[in-house]
Structure 1
């Protein structure tokens, strides 16, 4: 009778040298930390009617300059010192606190599409004034909205233009901002989860996975012909801040809307397991945010993952979010070497930035909706 030999897999029993055993910073939290009646008060900044009046006064002041969206700044959109200080507190919370905030109290139905963009840029100029370009076409604004009614034969649409659920991921920016113009008729809830808390649990239970996530051998499909890809880590040890992530699953695993390109090497079973561990630990510690029309959600993209539920629109109520990629150069986490090229594309004087354009109204070309070579790279 044949005997089956036991395969022994040797795994690292400690985290990589120079990495912390645990993160004890404020951005290491679990959803339970925000339970109870006072939970949302820890991250929601409620604007009063007087505050909104000050914002509207700043809008009128900016209009007199005759400038466009790219000209909005702290100087051209003057807010009173008290409101400036409140937004500066938000900026500090994003970079050295919980890592996410919600500014509440605006009613986008009271303004034109352009006015909403100007107000959004004006407020965020006091939080993270450096704006990043979001695609190869130079888009400084992305309208996250299901375009299935507009683009025919587009059942497989890219995520900003679809209504399907999105797993936990990062964008490619320092601060992710989303201004809710309208919520869905049903679903579409936002989830956030702490990257540091995910790290802490994996560091204790599976330190070998920290090694896997921090290696520079993860393959990112660039969805080009002929096949082209680059490699980098998913997990970085940010100088002075500790571990943080930057990745989304699509360019690594492929998806129905973006199948893996022929000729791109597959990820390993060890990597597949690591991805799933990150996701399910994230779900375990997630916080669900019931965003309202007019909310501005702000996330430290390197410290906090985000996800969304699938949703359903109605004829009279269609989910619509305006997305910005922002950076506060004074408070930003130091950009690691593995992300510097991508950060230059977004925030530097790159070819993309030189053709910057401001899309005030929602919509996108059929090619942008169906095909995407831009990725978290």
Structure 2
């Protein structure tokens, strides 16, 4: 059950320190190196600090390999009673198509699904059909019935099967978003993905059904501490809170912004073979997820689940666990243990070892089985005419979806059920967000 505690809060003015200072100053912390933000620190958004943050392990949101190695070495000298096998009923090895590594995708044609001229023409006819329906239908009414793709649907259903039963990700290539209005781009995106995963998730407490992933630093004054969807910093490996993650690229960055993917089953297999005790730690339900509220509020759950019929899969992001430069841990929230910190960084650096990298093109739709595949992002730089812009959807295929484990059911209801968030659902067609949303710490992939 969630636990709530209050802490004394007072106002002071100070320059950023610790992880926040490292983040803003561009200090690197281990492999692989990733670009950091390079703007001047501003303290007006971080002027509310507290003296009651409970100390915890030395661990960063964007992990330090040196810190991780030092912790592994230190713990090896103190823990002599580690479990020698994985938990009961958990597999020693996941032998499935979604257990892959870097070498398996040296040829990108294995995961790219190309749309030919006739298929693009069919998409355009479906758009015309939708726009010609009586009643001026909105984005929420895009479906297989209102966006008919009689020929392309077979290819898209093949993508759906691969996401759930195959290696777990695809890129659909061939669209040219510059040919369409912003609204038509959203309609096309929803129409195509309705054949892959028809149920759309709510992505924040404001009811947003789509999120525009774009650096808003130039548009939102005094937003140096903005959250990652609206910034240009690198992001470590994580999962969102959805079954299928979809990303439709409207424009590339001038430099950087590469997408990294890693197979959760491969991460599990390596850790199970070398450190089975860490599997116990990852599957334990005592992980603390900071909800970034006042007074302090958090929930506890595992970050690794044994999905019925599919085996182990991860679901977590680091920010609610470690805190981050833009979202420091809240006063009064219990920290993780040293053993948990070792396990968390082990997952990240094992994923780095087996990752693939791709630079998505304008018009690409990247689709990921979020429960089978980790994702991360390189930092990027924009310039006039080349400003990275991606439209994000959280999707679910009710027929093919992996069965939601008990520890995620509450969150899944919030995203996919008839929750309070869905009652205020809205479709933001143009990029942009309020300053409050850009710096809001409570909504997270947790």
Tell me the CA shift for residue 7 of structure 1: 4.4
Residue 294 of structure 1 aligns to a residue in which SS? coil
1:140 is matched with which residue: 202, 209, 214?
209
Distance in 2 (alpha carbons) for counterparts of 1:216 and 1:376: 17
Partner of 1:43: 111
1:253 is matched with which residue: 322, 331, 337?
322
Please identify runs of 4+ aligned residues in structure 1 that moved more than 2 A: 6-9
Partner of 2:84: 13
Partner of 2:406: 337
Distance in 2 (alpha carbons) for counterparts of 1:376 and 1:274: 19
Distance in 2 (alpha carbons) for counterparts of 1:162 and 1:18: 42
Output aligned runs, 1:78-157, within 5 Å: 78-80=148-150, 82-157=151-226
2:415 is matched with which residue: 346, 360, 377?
346
Normalising by structure 2, report the TM-score: 0.82
Against the structure 1 CA distance between its residues 362 and 354, is the aligned structure 2 distance closer, same or farther, given a 3 Å change threshold? Answer: same
Distance in 2 (alpha carbons) for counterparts of 1:268 and 1:125: 42
Distance in 1 (alpha carbons) for counterparts of 2:90 and 2:292: 33
Partner of 1:243: 312
Q: What is the root-mean-square deviation of aligned Cα atoms in Å?
A: 0.8
Output aligned runs, 1:175-324, within 5 Å: 175-324=244-393
- 1:69 is the counterpart of 2:69: no
**Deviations, residues 273-300 of structure 1 (Å, cap 9, x unaligned):** 0011000000000010121000000000
Against the structure 1 CA distance between its residues 242 and 62, is the aligned structure 2 distance closer, same or farther, given a 3 Å change threshold? Answer: same
Tell me the CA shift for residue 375 of structure 1: 2.2
Residue 152 of structure 2 aligns to a residue in which SS? helix
Residue 288 of structure 1 aligns to a residue in which SS? strand
Distance in 2 (alpha carbons) for counterparts of 1:316 and 1:166: 24
**Deviations, residues 27-73 of structure 1 (Å, cap 9, x unaligned):** 000011111xxx21111000011111100000000001121000000
Distance in 2 (alpha carbons) for counterparts of 1:191 and 1:7: 35
2:127 is matched with which residue: 59, 82, 105?
59
Normalising by structure 1, report the TM-score: 0.97
Residue 266 of structure 2 aligns to a residue in which SS? helix
* Number of corresponding residues: 368
Tell me the CA shift for residue 185 of structure 1: 0.2
Tell me the CA shift for residue 9 of structure 1: 2.4
- 1:326 is the counterpart of 2:374: no
**Deviations, residues 286-319 of structure 1 (Å, cap 9, x unaligned):** 0101210000000000000000000000012100
Tell me the CA shift for residue 155 of structure 1: 1.1
Distance in 2 (alpha carbons) for counterparts of 1:126 and 1:74: 7
Partner of 2:20: none
Kept in 1, the 8 Å contact 2:87–2:279? The answer is: yes
Distance in 2 (alpha carbons) for counterparts of 1:30 and 1:111: 37
Partner of 1:373: 442
**Deviations, residues 256-278 of structure 1 (Å, cap 9, x unaligned):** 10000000001000000001100
Tell me the CA shift for residue 376 of structure 1: 3.0
Partner of 2:24: none
Distance in 2 (alpha carbons) for counterparts of 1:7 and 1:112: 61
**Deviations, residues 192-241 of structure 1 (Å, cap 9, x unaligned):** 00000000000000000000000000000000000000000000000000
Distance in 1 (alpha carbons) for counterparts of 2:381 and 2:193: 29
Residue 271 of structure 1 aligns to a residue in which SS? helix
Residue 413 of structure 2 aligns to a residue in which SS? helix
Partner of 2:33: none
Distance in 2 (alpha carbons) for counterparts of 1:156 and 1:221: 18
Tell me the CA shift for residue 8 of structure 1: 4.8
Tell me the CA shift for residue 345 of structure 1: 0.3
